[in-house]
Amino acid sequence: MSLTLQGIVSAVGGILAGFALAGALLWRQQQALTAARYEATHDEVTGLPNRRLFVRRLRAALADTAPVGVVLLDLDRFKTVNDTLGHDSGNDLLDQIGRLLSGIPAPVRVAARLSGDEFALLVLGDRDDTAAAARAAWQVIAAEPIRVVNGELTVAASVGYTHVHTDFATSRQLLAQADTAMYEAKRTGSGVCEYLPHRTPAARSRNRH
């Protein structure tokens, strides 16, 4: 091989190697960006959408002017699980609850973990659909003991739900209404409670939103 041809081959090889390296770096950057976006919108314990993504999906549903319902629930006496069995059992329980809720069929479109032991469901349906989803969430949690790393736990939840009452409802209003109803369910021990403006005292909402 002549020196000129050898030089050309070496140069081409160097260029191809540079392309390969650049491609590998670009792929890694894309992977890192995808992972960062996922972590920003999903809960690390359950893998469910987090509050940010849930609110985004709720706002999109409201913008479509379709019937929308929101279900909120939290676990009764969850702090006792962490205090007595440890945070590993608590996280395991949250993960199992997330799996149960994400298995509830349509018209539930999104199951999310908002914070702590609080979960939310986005329902694309009418008032009866939202009520059915709320009851299904309560039943699937209480149906049987849930296995965690340290044994089995009998779990109960307090569930509140609301449905779009006006054409001008916002995501903040719906979350606050469902939260108020959830607080009322916990206060009365009723398990499931619907938000009704004339009946549910708004001042009792924990107003975390």
First-last CA distance in the chain:
74
Question: Contact at 8 Å (CB) between 45 and 128?
Answer: no
**What is the torsional sign of CA 133, 123, 39, 117?**
negative
Listed in order, strand segments (DSSP E) in 55-123 are 69-75, 108-115, 118-123
Residues 6+ apart with CB under 8 A from 29: none
Nearby residues of 190 by Cβ (< 8 Å), 6 or more positions away:
184
What's phi and psi for 2, nearest 5 deg?
Answer: -70, 160
Structure tokens, 181: 């109803």
Q: From CA 153, how far away is CA 163, in angstroms rounded?
A: 32
In eight-state DSSP terms, residue 47 is -
Which residues are marked as active site? 117
